[in-house]
Amino acid sequence: MQYIFLSHDVDWRLQGPPIEHILERKDRFEQELFENTKPENLYRNIPEYMEIEEKFDVRSTFFFRTFYENGNVLDYEDDIKQLQKLDWEIGLHTNPSSINDLDKIRLEKEKLESISGKQIIGNRVHYLNYNSELPEKLEKLGFSYDSSLRHSKNIIDEKEMGYSRINGIIEFPVTLMDAYLFTYMKIQEDGIIPEFQKTLDLGRSLSENNVISVIWHDNVLKMKGGRMYKQILEFLTSQDDVEIKRGIDLVKIFS
C-alpha cells in the first residue's frame, strides 16, 4: 500500500498577510477572483479544504502555529475545534526559534492543546527547520511523530519518502510540497498530476508499504497551482493501492 500522509501547514494569521504582501503576489491569482475576493479571504481556505476532503471521504492533518505575526492562534479557535470535532487531526507547527529549547516547545504544545482539547502528538517545524536534537526533545514532551525533515528542495528520491525511527519519534520526511514544486522544481499547473504519478511510481518501486508525505499549505487553494488540490485528490483516490491518512493514523499503522 502507498500511504499518503496528507497535511496542511497554517502559516498565516486568520486575517491573512499584510495587504502589501498580497498585492505583490496578485499575479498568483486569476484576475477576476482577485478582484472579487476580500483580501483577508484570499489566503483563508480551511472550510474549503474540509468541504473538498469530505467529498472524497478523506481526512488530513492541519499544523497550526502558536505564534502568528500580528495575529493570534486563538483567532483559529473555532476552526480548530470544528476540525477536531469532525476527525481532522491538529498538529503543532513549531516556531523555528523554539526548537533548541525544550520549555519553549512544551509551552507551544500546551497552548495548542488548550485550544484543541486533545493531546497533540504530531509536530512540524515552520520552514522545516529541523535539527538532529529535535526528536529527543519531542519524545520527552509526549509527541509520537515529526514531519520536518527534507533533504533537497528540488529533488524527490527515496530519501524524501517512507519513515524512520529517531529517538522514539517516527519521522516522516516531506515528499511533495506545493512551494517546492512551484518555486524550486518549476512545475507548471499541468505538470502537477504527472509529478504525483511519478512520485507514486517511485514509491511503488521501493516498497509495498511506503509513505509519501504531502504538504498543501492552507493559503494556496485559490492560487494558480494550489487550486489543483481537488484534482490531486481525484487522482489519488482513483489509485487502488493508495490510502490517504492523517499522521496519527500512520503512527498506529507503523507502531
Its domain, for residue 43, covers 2-254
**pLDDT tens, position by position, 4-62:** 999 999 999 999 999 999 999 999 999 999 999 999 999 999 999 999 999 999 999 99
- 64, 65, 66, 71 alpha-carbon torsion, rounded to 10°: -100
Say what the pLDDT of residue 19 is: 93
The CATH code of the domain that includes 101 is 3.20.20.370
C-alpha 236/C-alpha 228 separation (Å) is 12
Binned at pLDDT 50, 70 and 90, residue 209 comes out as very high
Amino acid identity, residue 106? R
Q: How many CB atoms lie within 10 A of CB 115?
A: 20
**pLDDT tens, position by position, 100-124:** 999 999 999 999 999 999 999 999 9
Total domains in the chain come to 1
Span 68-77, mean pLDDT?
96
Say what the pLDDT of residue 167 is: 94
Q: pTM of the entire structure?
A: 0.97
